[in-house]
A and B are shown apart, each in its own frame.
Chain A
Amino acid sequence: MMGYENQSYEEAHLYASREEMENLVLDEPSPSSNGHSPSGHHPSSPPFTSSDDPLLPSSSSFLHSQNPNSSSSSSSAFNSFLEPPSYADVIFTSFDSSNGDANGHVNANSDPGSSASRPEYLKISVADPQKEMDMSGSIVPGGNTYYTYLITTRTNFPDFGGSEFSVRRRFKDVVTLSDRLSEAYRGFFIPPRPDKSVVESQVMQKQEFVEQRRAALEKYLRRLATHPVIKKSDELRVFLQVQGRLPLQRTTDVASRMLDGAVKLPRQLFGESAVGAVDISEVVQPAKGGRDLLRIFKELKQSVTNDWGGAKPPVVEEDKEFLEKKEKLLDFEQQISNVSQQAELLVKAQQDSGETMGELGLAFVKLTKFETEEAMFESQRVRAGDMKNVATAAVKASRFYRELNAQSVKHLDKLHEYLGMMLAVNSAFSDRASALLTVQTLLSELSSLHSRIEKLEVASSKIFGGDRSRLRKIDELKETIRSTEDAKCCAVREYERIKENNRNELERLDKEKHDDFLNMLKGFVVNQVHPPFLFNWPTFHFGMFQNYYHIQKVNDSFCMIS
């Protein structure tokens, strides 16, 4: 959301060469082009992007982003052309290890240098977006174009059976991966995938959008790679390793699911009881996304009964600890959202501040040049000298603040990350809730089946010799009860499993949150105290008539500034 983006982005540009810096001759009093005022202040570009600007190399487009998540991801792609000469001498303190990458976690997944030394690593990078045509007979002539990304993995996990490999995937594949993970890992805090953002893809420049998406995908995959359970998942492995088409089941859209469900429904309602029972394999999935419309109706009815019915549901959420933690997390979510928002505003204000400082410096540069050229008096030359000092200092300060801000953004980005994580938490909690609902529904069903049998038995016992049809019905019902019991057991197991997952994840979250935030705070504060390069406002002597006027008046030593 700030900074300059080089068209040919490469990570190497984060560390500019010394030569590039040397070319920025700040001490030259007369820049090459004269009289070019920063023409109009474009809202989305910094004032000195014109190539005439004597003090800065020509920088190209200005990455302007609305989405907070992607803005933070683009800042990790932030290319600072204006690296100061002493960048090579930067001192990074030991606990600022998360500098430069999104995941600063315990297992150094993102640390490029440590490939060999660590016991287990899984390093992923996303690059090289390419446009491709969808040849599979689409209706629209000219086909459907989409972008694929080269996903390169380096790992020493035994499951992968290889150490380095690449695949090409498109965004749809990522959506599939994400959906499959949600299904397979209910109750886990699964990092949320990047948005589909259809609107933005229309609004933004294609180039920018693709780059933004690439960065977001990389961030997402790396986060998956740091999740202790998910990084071992088959789904992820298959996604990263299997060439060609992604062999994961495609997510079907809502319409076709509903269609399938509607087909089954009549048989469920009127057909044999076996079909009417809940499919065991489906019990472990939530009703909502599935094809079983009847089940959806039943669970809906159950949830309404839970909320509005007089009686208490058969089983309720009783885990006090869980409920407490949930409350706390709700509060946390609110606070972190607030802080995240303020942090964005803060960063913007810092950026504006730095920019204006730079503009001021430039205005004085021009003034200096003007005074020097048109000087008729010695006093003018002296003044021009003073002005040049201030101008140079202001421009340097501007760059300093910009760099400082870029680093701040990287640190504060953690806040955004946790905001995203809350989505994962909420979805894990709703996994739990829907599993519970399934259990409740099945229990209600069982009890209603039992009472139906009772009624039938009572009715049939009144008929002498037994009621054939009723007895048959009772047998059918008993059959149904058996399969429903099985389903119920399955559902209960699933529910307990999800509860367990929740518990573990909450523990993990607590610990990681503590570590992450501590690192973030340290990183942020250290950055302010030991910034990437040093800058001091210069000392200088003013005017030539120091003796003429009363220097002793109020101020201390004019000449030395601490």
Chain B
Amino acid sequence: MLTTQQRSASGSSQSPRSPSAQPFLSVSVTDPVKLGNGVQAYISYRVITKTNLPEYQGPEKIVIRRYSDFVWLRDRLFEKYKGIFIPPLPEKSAVEKFRFSAEFIEMRRQALDIFVNRIASHHELQQSDDLRIFLQADEETMERARFQETGIFKKKPADLMQIFKDVQSKVSDVVLGKEKPVEESNPEYEKLKHYIFELEDHLAEAQKHSYRLVKRHRELGQSLSDFGKAVKLLGACEGNAIGKAFSELGAKSEMISVKLQNEAHHLLMNFEEPLKDYVRAVQSIKATIAERANAFRHQCELAETIKLKEINLDKLMLIRSDRVGEAEFEYKELKAESEEATRRFETIVRLMNEEIVRFQEQKTLDMGIAFHEFAKGQARLANSIADAWRSLLPKLEACSSS
């Protein structure tokens, strides 16, 4: 399976280089369009799938999707592929949605594009039926699927109980950071959990500062532009050689201000966003950690219950009760369930171990690119600013000699 680039050029579809014989699946999220009015307004995206896989209606398929469709996909994958770090989605952001600034839309589009591509390039996730539905189904089918998912009437009572239990344990264990008594006693895993939790804090701080830096670039650009305007006015008032010099200074300032604004945008898209993505990824891992804890607990509970059932069964057998048959049957059922739970847990553990390696490697690469972009951008900015000022020098020299 070939990998796809993590970042696309703005709006254009991406296609990894690939020999034509090899199976490939390439997706791009493009062309955001605002639909609807007022409170119900939303953005729709064009999702283009290019593939030669037999399961897909190739070679190209285009569908229209909105943010909640992506959420559906993420939720389904999270349900089915416990243990795998599901790629993160950009935040819901109930407030900014209404403002729908061009920048916000572009950032969201980029994040969604990365999301889908990560799924498409994950060796297990890419085989998911839900992914296929997401990429291929027409809009009505998609909408139906989405509504079904959110309806809880479809669920069986037992499922509901499990859901409540899960939510309860999820909230109390992971989100609130309280330790439950039933925990794995795996020191390496402990270390990993501790690492993940602390990592999130550190990353969040770095991301916060990087966002601030973007803002600073913009503010600096603005004030440089204002300064330039004021200087130009002063130049006009002064007249003669000095006046001209001032005008030149003012013009240069305005020019540099534009460079700053550009760099701010570049910094946002190529440094701050990847950092934010990293934070989200870590949060996704936390969700997986919660799942693993649930599975472990479930397994333990069943083991406990079995023990009790065993004792009960022996007791019944001893007194030659006619409920033995029933009890035996229940016992066998529980045994099967317990084995199932153990299997599920072990799958999660195995998957997580693989995922963590993949995650670390991927992140090293992602951050490497981000750092490179950061340094490159700053160097470029500094150099072009210095050049701009340098070009002013001969003009100043001319003024003094006149």
Contacts and interface: CB of A to CB of B under 8 A. Distances in A.
A359 B227 contact: no
A447 interface: no
Nearest to B204: A363
A265 interface: no
A558 B372 contact: yes
Identify which of A366, A386, A514, A521 gathers the most chain B CB atoms within 10 Å of its CB.
A521
Contact of B379 (A359, A536, A558): A536
Interface string A507-520: 00000011001100
B219 A352 contact: yes
B392 A346 contact: no
Contacts of B206: 360, 363-364, 367
B367 A335 contact: no
A297 interface: no
Given A521-B246, A537-B379, A370 B368 contact: no
A341 B227 CA distance: 9
Interface residues of A, number: 71
A545 B223 contact: no
A528 B381 CA distance: 13
A258 interface: no
A353 B216 contact: yes
B227 A353 contact: no
B378 A338 contact: no
Interface string B278-289: 000000000000
Interface in B71-106: none
A52 B222 CA distance: 35
A543 B365 contact: yes
Contacts of B210: 360
A550 B5 contact: yes
A448 interface: no
A390 B234 contact: no
B202 A367 contact: yes
B360 interface: yes
B361 interface: yes
Interface in A91-132: 95
A133 interface: no
A404 to B, nearest CB: 10
B216 A349 contact: yes
A350 B222 CA distance: 11
A87 interface: no
Nearest to A382: B364
A383 interface: yes
Interface stretch (A135-143, A266-274, A371-379): A371-379
Contacts of A433: none
B233 A356 contact: no
A537 B364 CA distance: 20
Interface in A37-79: 37
Contacts of A526: 393
Interface of B: 3, 5, 9, 16-17, 188, 191-192, 194-195, 198-199, 202-203, 205-206, 208-210, 212-213, 216-217, 219-220, 222-224, 226-227, 229-231, 233-234, 237-238, 240-242, 245-246, 249, 356-357, 360-361, 363-365, 367-369, 371-372, 374-376, 378-380, 382-383, 385-386, 389-390, 392-393, 396, 399-400
